[in-house]
Amino acid sequence: MKCDDAALKFLYMQAKSDIKCGKLKPSEEQKAQLEEYCDPEFPVPMQYIKLCQTLDNYTSAIVRDCTLHKEFLAKSITIPAGTAVNVAVTRRGLMLEVHNRQCVVSWRKVKGIYTGYFETNSSSWTRAEEDVYITYEIYSVSNNNFTQLHIKSKQAPYLLAVTLEMIRILQEELDGPPFQTSDIQVEADKGEIVAWNNVMFTTKSTALEGHIAGRFVDMSA
């Protein structure tokens, strides 16, 4: 990592702030190492930042105070409608913090996103007047079918934007199919994104999903 002194100071202060507010959660051993790196007698901010970059959620965006618009039902967990959740867009996948539990789905198991919610009775997507709904279509490995994660948040447009940006970055890093505008469906009269098709989606299990299952509640199980 190369950066000038001003950028280094910013990253250093941001990392310290992220730990203080709980976004980054180092282990006790890592905490001791971080304290050593920020010793005022001999601070080493570069090492501090590098260690923080290995922590979960370092490159994540978190949207707090969301609610589930409809019940989410999977083999690993059931989350009732109206449940308060925090949503994190991470390199690993989409993460929900629910009652002190961390639930994750790999991006490889997210087939697409819709800016609205699914009406089961009419089998169609509904867009509300307010942009407060976003739906992730998740593949269930054990059931070999799809279920919808309906999230309601005043920050839904931001959640959509950071999700698309994260996928774009991952596609570039993994030398996968390029992120194309043809994968995005836009409403003609307003020019707003209605749906997005994830070209990284696969029904096959991956090594990363095995890692997720070992540490978190896997929403695609």
pLDDT in tens, the chain (221 residues): 455 677 678 778 878 888 888 878 888 999 999 999 988 888 888 888 888 878 877 777 888 899 999 899 887 789 999 999 999 898 888 999 998 888 999 998 999 888 876 554 444 555 555 678 899 999 988 889 898 999 999 988 888 888 888 888 787 776 666 655 557 777 766 667 777 888 888 888 877 777 777 788 889 88
The region that residue 13 occupies, defined by phi over 0 for left and psi between -120 and 50 for alpha, beta otherwise, is alpha
Architecture of the domain whose range is 61-218:
Roll (2.30)
The full set of domain ranges for the chain reads 5-52, 61-218
DSSP E strands in 82-206: the ranges are 84-89, 93-98, 101-106, 110-114, 117-119, 124-126, 133-140, 145-152, 184-186, 193-197
CA 181 to chain centre: 21
